[in-house]
Every structure is written in C-alpha cells, then in structure tokens.
Amino acid sequence: MNTNKLTVAIPTYNRANLLNRAIQSVLDQSYKDFDLIVLDNESTDNTPEIVKSFDDPRIHYIRNESNIGIIGNWNKAIDVAPGEYLSIFHDDDIMYPDFLKESFKALEKNPTVGFTFPMVKMVDINRNFIKVWYDGYGDKEGVISGLDYIILTLEKERCISLAPSMVFRKSVFKKTGFFGQEFSFNTFDFNMWFKIALQYDVFFINKFLFDYTIHPDQMSKLHWRTSKNPTGIIGANLEMVGVIAHLLNSQYANSQKSRKFLAEKLTNFNHKITDAVRILAPKL
C-alpha cells in the first residue's frame, strides 16, 4: 500500500447500491494524494464486484472474515490506515470535490487540531436537498479550542459535527484510544468527539463540502427517526452528561458562572433522558 499522508476508509456492509457513488465522489477529489480503503464487513451482496469495477491503484479492498460490527470496522480503519490523516467515510454519502483538499490543508497548517468538519447538506437518496444538517456555529470558524467546541455542543444540546464529514489526525487515537461503547452503542462516535476535544483543538470549515444522505436503511433511521425507539436521544444526552463530568473536574468549573451553566445543562439533559426512557418504560 502507498504511504500518502491522507487515507479515506469506507467501512461498508450490504450497501452496494450506494457504494458506487460514494467511491466515485472520493476519486473525483481535487486533492489526489490519498489511499482509499474499502472495509467490507462480510457483505452478502455484490460489494466485491462494485469495488473491483474501479480501476484505480489508490483503491484497496479488505474483506473481513466475519462481521466485526460497525465499531470494530471503524477501529480496523484506524489500524490499517497508513496515512497521518484519516477520513472514515460513509458508504452512502457524497463528498464534494474540494472536501479532502480543504480538510488536508487545515490539518497541515494547524498541528494542534485533532479533527476538521465542514458545513453539510442533508439530501435524499436522489440528492434532492432536504435541509442544512446544522448551521448554529455563530461567528466560529477555523481553529476552535476543544473547550469552546464542547461548550457550544452543550449550549446547542446536540452534536455539531457529523462523523463522515470529519477528517482526523490519526495520532489522536493514541491518546484517546479507539472507538468503544462507553454509554450508548448508537452514539459511540459522539463519545469520541468529546474525548478528542478534551485534548485537542478542532477546525470548522465554513463551506458546504458534503452531502449526508437520508434513507430508510441507515442506522440513524432506527435510533433517531423512529418515534417509539428514542435511543438516539437517550444516547446523545448520556454523552453530554458524561462530558459535563469531565468539565466539573477541570479548571473550567472554577467559576460560579461555569458551574451554573453546567448545572442547568445537566438538569435539561436529565429531563430529556427521562422523557425518552418513559417512551420505552411508561411506568418509570
């Protein structure tokens, strides 16, 4: 395998119908010096044929001998990626032509940055625009301290960076460890963003560089868009409660204003968790 500084990894499972366009969007990047690794989690469809249909020496195909789950496959991406920078790209999304160029430039110029993230559009499976994924960044742009990223997340009471649109400095995982289920399976990625932001700055690219595809067969459909299964809401709020625990043991909590803010947010998150759990356990 080549030793380009940037690796794009696509963990995939039975998504051959969309994988083709995801791969093509990587190959269409204006920044060309990357390796593309497709990590097939023992798909039963024609995923191998889709990958082999591309004649490009930058593409590497790895098929797992057994299905190791989404978390295992993401961690395998970290393990096998040769580059200094890593994009864990979803098999159903589309990156715009300058996505890698802008992300790479930000990481190269700012050694304190652990990950980058751009503006994102939500689209349907035919790329029809639905809405902007999130646009509440205010005047923040470029390098943002990890603490400011965490505080903005708590203020907005939601995740503010989308996994497949992020590019990581791979060395961060030596400090944070790999992905794992600390609080919730469906928010294992959100958990990692906090772990990184507790130790690194982040970089917001204030440009639309990514299409996030909404369709019935994605993981977030079950956890975020199924009213009787509010596991996404529960997981996200548990992650935010978890990071508050870290902040309470940091210098940030030295001021009364900061402690008041954290106390208010903790109360809000507990109410949200309670409301969601009551859907699953009405007699709570």
What are the tens digits of pLDDT across the range 126-177?
Answer: 999 999 999 999 889 999 999 999 999 999 999 999 999 999 999 999 999 9
Distance CA 98, CA 115 (A): 17
Q: At what angle do helices 146-156 and 256-280 cross, to 10 degrees?
A: 50
What are the tens digits of pLDDT across the range 243-255?
Answer: 999 999 999 999 9
Q: Which residue spans within the chain are E strands per DSSP?
A: 6-12, 34-40, 59-63, 85-88, 94-95, 113-123, 129-132, 142-144, 167-169, 201-213
Residues 6+ apart with CB under 8 A from 246: 194, 198
Q: How confident is the model at residue 222 (pLDDT cuts 50, 70, 90)?
A: low
Strand pairing of 85-88 and 6-12?
parallel
In this prediction the pTM is 0.94
Q: How confident is the model at residue 54 (pLDDT cuts 50, 70, 90)?
A: very high
Distance CA 138, CA 136 (A): 6
